[in-house]
Amino acid sequence: MPTSVLAPGPILLWPYQARYRLAAQALAKELFDALDDDLKPYVLLLALPIDASLPARCLEPEESGLPFEPFCDAVSRGRLIQEATPRPYIERDDVTPAMIRRKHEGLGVRDAVQQTLDELDEHATYQHFAGWPVMIRGYFVVTVLRLQRKPLRSYPSLRPFRFYTDGRPLASSLLVAAMYRFNEEGVKALSEPEPGASIFVRPRESEELLRSAGKTFLDTPAQALGLDPSITKLFATCNTISSLRYEGAEGVGKLLLARRGHPNLEEVFALTCPTELTDYRAVRKLLEMTTPDVHLLADGENVYALGRQIDHYDAEREDLFVISFITHYAWELQHASHTLLRSHYGLPGLPRTRLSRTGFRRALKRTFTLTDTAKVERLWDVVLEASRQKHGTMLVITTEALAEADRLKLQCTLIEPVPLTPLITRLVTSIDGAVLLDPEGYCYSIGVILDGRASGRGDSTRGARYNSALRYVESSAYPCIAIVVSEDGLVDVITSVQE
Residues 206 and 62 occupy one common structural domain: yes
Output the pLDDT for position 331: 94
Residues 6+ away with beta carbon under 8 Å from 273: none
Strands 413-419, 442-448: pairing kind = antiparallel
Domain C-terminal end among 349, 377, 393:
349
Residue 215, in any domain of the structure:
no
Residue 359 has pLDDT above 90, yes or no: no
**Among the ranges given (148-152, 247-251, 323-327, 409-413), the one the predictor scored with the smallest mean pLDDT:** 247-251
Residues 169 and 305 occupy one common structural domain: no
Residue 234 has pLDDT above 70, yes or no: yes
Mean pLDDT across 388-407 = 92
Q: What is the residue range of 297's domain?
A: 229-349
- Of residues 64 and 478, the one with the higher pLDDT is 478
**Among the ranges given (2-6, 98-102, 342-346, 355-359), the one the predictor scored with the smallest mean pLDDT:** 2-6
Residues 203 and 271 occupy one common structural domain: no
Residue 403, in any domain of the structure:
yes
Domain C-terminal end among 295, 314, 349:
349
Percent of residues, the chain, with pLDDT higher than 90: 63
Residue 222, in any domain of the structure:
no
Output the pLDDT for position 286: 96
- The structure's pTM equals 0.78
- Mean pLDDT over each residue of the chain, to the nearest integer: 88
CA distance 220 to 181: 15
Percent of residues, the chain, with pLDDT higher than 70: 91
Residues 376 and 425 occupy one common structural domain: yes
Output the pLDDT for position 39: 93
Residues 370 and 298 occupy one common structural domain: no
Question: What would the pLDDT profile of 270-305 be if each residue is shown by its tens digit?
Answer: 999 999 999 999 999 999 999 999 999 999 999 999
Residue 80, in any domain of the structure:
yes
For residue 387, what is the domain's CATH number? Answer: 3.40.1700.10
Output the pLDDT for position 387: 87
Residues 258 and 164 occupy one common structural domain: no
Beta bridge partners of 48: 140
Residues 61 and 194 occupy one common structural domain: yes
Mean pLDDT across 420-425 = 94
Domain C-terminal end among 210, 241, 257:
210
Residues 109 and 33 occupy one common structural domain: yes
Ramachandran assignment for 381, one of left (phi > 0), alpha (psi -120 to 50 degrees), beta (any other): alpha
Output the pLDDT for position 252: 86
Residue 270, in any domain of the structure:
yes
Residues 287 and 313 occupy one common structural domain: yes
- Of residues 387 and 9, the one with the higher pLDDT is 387
Name the residue among 481, 472, 457 with its Cα closest to residue 363. 481
Residues 292 and 170 occupy one common structural domain: no
Output the pLDDT for position 90: 55
Question: How many distinct structural domains can be found in the chain?
Answer: 3
Give the pLDDT band of residue 254 (cuts 50, 70, 90): very high
Residues 22 and 168 occupy one common structural domain: yes
Residue 79, in any domain of the structure:
yes
Q: How far is CA 127 from the centre of its chain?
A: 17
Residue 154, in any domain of the structure:
yes
